């Protein structure tokens, strides 16, 4: 299954470049509709990848995967190392490809980070509407807000309803690694548009979906990737998805 927004990539000049591949298990539409059952394993999605993110089976944790090690961050906010056989409900992982240095000056926040990635893509003659960029940012950040979600309270609860009651963790200063993917801004529902980031701190004591972060001093890299979607969920949902709807929630400090 391919997102038609990105399907035309193979017919463009970008298709001839030596890019890596982004493997996506599941679809955003199924996830947001409340289909949280595991559809593949940690090993099948993240084995051999250099970075990845996702959600565990039954929303048992946000996922951060770096160089073959995969952590789940449950509602407590404290990462735990997963086993290869554990199931995931949704996952995105980057494999292979040429690594490029990403320059991000101090003071850039998450909104500015999207602009920095897009500038880097322009310099590489790549259009962010025709490619997926994987990125890894390691170092020191300020004004960091991470979120985790609880497991569903009742059968059929949508991801939107779960996120309405998400838990946030706020840090004035935070050291660790943020990984993510810059998808095209337009999506048919198979993919999550824009910049999607997860993070884990250097001491493995905090992590989750990145709501906000400001660059202090970092080393950053990106890869240009083709997208391959493997949707084993067998769920279809035509309901429009509002990806920007959910903003306020609990905060833990």
Confidence band (pLDDT; 50, 70, 90) for 131?
confident
CA angle 82, 74, 104 (to 5 degrees): 85
Confidence band (pLDDT; 50, 70, 90) for 233?
low
Could you read off the pLDDT of 2-14 as tens digits, one per residue? 444 444 444 444 4
Distance CA 232, CA 39 (A): 6
Distance CA 185, CA 6 (A): 11
- Name which of 49-53, 116-120, 222-226, 249-253 the model is least confident about: 249-253
Contact in structure between 114 and 104 (CB atoms under 8 Å): no
Residue ranges of domains in the chain, CATH in brackets = 4-233 (3.30.1330.80)
pTM recorded for the entire structure: 0.86
Distance CA 125, CA 113 (A): 18
Strand 69-73 and strand 62-66: the pairing is: antiparallel
DSSP string over 46-60:
HTT-SEEEEEEGGG-
Could you read off the pLDDT of 200-230 as tens digits, one per residue? 999 999 999 999 999 999 999 999 888 888 7
- In terms of phi and psi (left: phi > 0; alpha: psi -120 to 50; beta: otherwise), the region of 164 is alpha
- In terms of phi and psi (left: phi > 0; alpha: psi -120 to 50; beta: otherwise), the region of 156 is left
Distance CA 202, CA 233 (A): 34
Residue 80's DSSP bridge partners are 72
């Amino acid at each position: 299954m391919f997102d038609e927004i990105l399907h035309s990539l193979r017919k463009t000049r970008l298709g001839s470049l030596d890019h890596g591949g982004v493997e996506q298990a599941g679809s955003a539409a199924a996830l947001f509709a409340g289909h949280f059952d595991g559809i593949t394993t940690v090993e099948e999605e993240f084995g051999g990848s250099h970075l990845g993110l996702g959600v565990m089976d039954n929303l048992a944790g946000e996922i951060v995967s770096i160089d073959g090690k995969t952590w789940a961050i449950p509602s407590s906010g404290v990462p735990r190392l997963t086993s290869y056989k554990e199931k995931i409900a949704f996952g995105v992982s980057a494999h292979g490809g040429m690594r490029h240095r990403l320059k991000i000056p101090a003071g850039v926040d998450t909104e500015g980070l999207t602009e920095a990635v897009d500038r880097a893509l322009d310099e590489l003659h790549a259009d962010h509407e025709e490619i997926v960029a994987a990125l890894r940012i390691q170092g020191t950040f300020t004004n960091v807000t991470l979120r985790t979600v609880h497991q569903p309270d009742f059968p059929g609860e949508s991801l939107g309803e779960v996120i309405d009651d998400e838990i946030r963790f706020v840090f004035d200063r935070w050291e660790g690694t943020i990984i993510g993917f810059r998808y095209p801004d337009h999506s048919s529902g198979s993919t999550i548009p824009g910049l999607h980031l997860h993070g884990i701190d250097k001491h493995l004591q905090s992590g989750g979906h990145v709501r906000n972060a400001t660059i202090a001093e970092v080393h950053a890299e990106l890869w240009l990737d083709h997208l391959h979607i493997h949707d084993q969920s067998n769920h279809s949902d035509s309901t429009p998805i509002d990806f920007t709807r959910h903003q306020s929630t609990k905060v833990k400090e």
